[in-house]
Amino acid sequence: MPVATASQTIGPYWHLIEHPEMADLTRFGAEGERIEVTGRITDGEGLPVADAAVEIWQASPAADARFPGHGRAATDPDGRFRFVTLKPGPVPGPGNQTQAPHLSVVLLARGLLTALRTRVYFAGEPLNETDPLLSAIEDSAERATLIARPAGPGAWTLDIRLQGEGETVFLEV
Amino acid sequence: MSDPLPFRPFPAGTQPPLDHAAYGSTQHRHPKRALRRLPHTVTETTGPAFAPEHFPPILDLTKTGRGEPLGERIIVAGRVTDEDGRPVPHSMIEVWQANAAGRYAHPRDQHDAPADPNFQGEGRVFTDAEGRYSFVTIKPGAYPWRNHHNAWRPVHIHFSLFGTGFAQRLVTQMYFPGDPLLALDPIYHAVSDAAARERLVSRFDLDLTRPEWALGYRFDIVLRGRGATPFEEGEHH
């Protein structure tokens, strides 16, 4: 039986396929609650990760011709990224559980031989308490690395730490 | 509602680790904590579908400038399937690469090699109903990097695939047969399973080669299969 092709790093020059408009998931005219999601990525030395590709995918609201559900952003020299999208809603989880609204995140960069995967949840969502992933993380500081904080009207922010103190919870998907 | 069919875990050694000392850039960028296992949900089993109307194909990387780029014209083609041999149809593949002299059309690439104003190095193709794809480009050049003394990357083309579920998202590199730099490359050798590593090397294909025009290289890509098998302990990481 064939085995899945191995991953290799996206490298420092992936910007040849970068199209900044991909960071705006509302660009095709999607209607709904528009939000901005920003963050800053740092490495184990606290230095900005300035050459990363950040991708999001959200199963909710369902992707259609006007809402791609997927976005990609490049980090800037300070390691910052920014998406404009629609606020996700809850989606089914394992068994009869419900998952709190979240974005699936893939990080690709020089120095990452395979994609790093994490999620962005939203502070204050009642479903966060019973979300299967969040509620399985016993350490509240670790759990907090997955939960974006409000940063103004319709704006959310969550920093990502690849390594060391405050390290983001990364997922084996 | 029944749970969506998850993707199978990767067989041990067939994917590179995040912590790989021979590749210096992993040192401060790999998480120290073990990854947290996430049973696949609808978030992981579904994924984006890209429309050619929004992402126009770039099937010939030699035709995006005013003139012909310098270098050896080649045809790259292959098939995208999953681990069960099912084709991955109508799926977007992004490719990018250095020019024939080994330099990227990228402001941060300062390698002392000529830029080629007729070569941007970006391609985009969609698989057909059988998962087949094909594009035309020039063979990229090898280039030095600063990972260790006298380090050179083997000739490669970057590939980005999305598959049908976000858990299948794959970014990889296609190499060329017979490249002496492969034996020395820590990125290539990060894949410990020799067979999995060698599948990253394209094959010269005389049937794909067009007489009097361009050599053909075949690169087939396999994405994770869907299966009911649960995650097994100690599979990877």
Q: Which homologous superfamily does the CATH classification assign to the domain defined by A14-161?
A: Aromatic compound dioxygenase (2.60.130.10)
The answer to whether the CB of A10 falls within 8 A of the CB of A110 is: yes
Interchain contact A93–B (C-beta under 8 A): yes
B34 located within any domain: no
Residue type (1 letter), A71: G
**Cα atoms in the Cβ-side hemisphere of radius 13 Å centred on B153:** 28
Tally of domains within chain B: 1
pLDDT for res B3: 76
pLDDT (tens digit per residue) in A28-41: 999 999 999 999 99
Determine, yes or no, domain membership for B136.
yes
Question: Could you tell me the CATH number of the domain that includes residue B74?
Answer: 2.60.130.10
Per the document, the length of chain B is 237
CA dist A45 to A161, B30, B146, Å? 10, 11, 19
What DSSP designation does B58 have? Answer: B
- With a CB cutoff of 8 Å and minimum separation 6, the contacts of B229 are B8, B9
Interface of B with A in 127-156 (CB under 8 A): none
Token pair, residue B198, equals 């060698």
The residue segments making up the domain with residue B161 are: 51-223
Q: How far is B129 from chain A (nearest CA, A)?
A: 20
Contacts of B229 in chain A (CB under 8 A): none
Which of A16, A102, A115 comes nearest B120 by C-beta? A16
Q: What is the pLDDT of residues B191-208, one digit of tens each?
A: 999 999 999 999 999 999
Q: What is the pLDDT of residue B234?
A: 44
CA distance B23 to B189: 10
Q: Which residues of chain B have pLDDT under 70?
A: 1-2, 228-237
Q: How far apart are CA B227 and CA B237, in angstroms?
A: 20
Instruction: Indicate the burial class of B50 (C-beta count within 10 angstroms; 0-12, 13-18, 19 or more).
Output: middle
Q: How does pLDDT run along chain A (173 residues), one tens digit per residue?
A: 799 999 999 999 999 999 999 999 999 999 999 999 999 999 999 999 999 999 999 999 999 999 999 999 999 999 999 999 999 999 999 989 999 999 999 999 999 999 999 999 999 999 999 999 999 999 999 999 999 999 999 999 999 999 999 999 999 99
Identify the residue among A14, A113, A133 best suited for mutation to test binding to B, counting B beta carbons within 10 A and taking the highest: A113
pLDDT of residue B1: 52
Q: Which of A71, A58, A68, A23 is nearest to B49 (CA)?
A: A68
- Active-site choice (B158, B197, B224, B226): B158
Is residue B101 domain-resident? yes
Return the pLDDT at B2: 67
Length of chain A: 173
> Chain A window 114-173: which residues touch B at a Cβ cutoff of 8 Å?
114-117, 119, 132-133, 136-137, 162-164, 167-173
- Known catalytic membership, residue B188: no
The CA distance from A167 to A109, in Å, is 17
What is this structure's pTM?
0.96
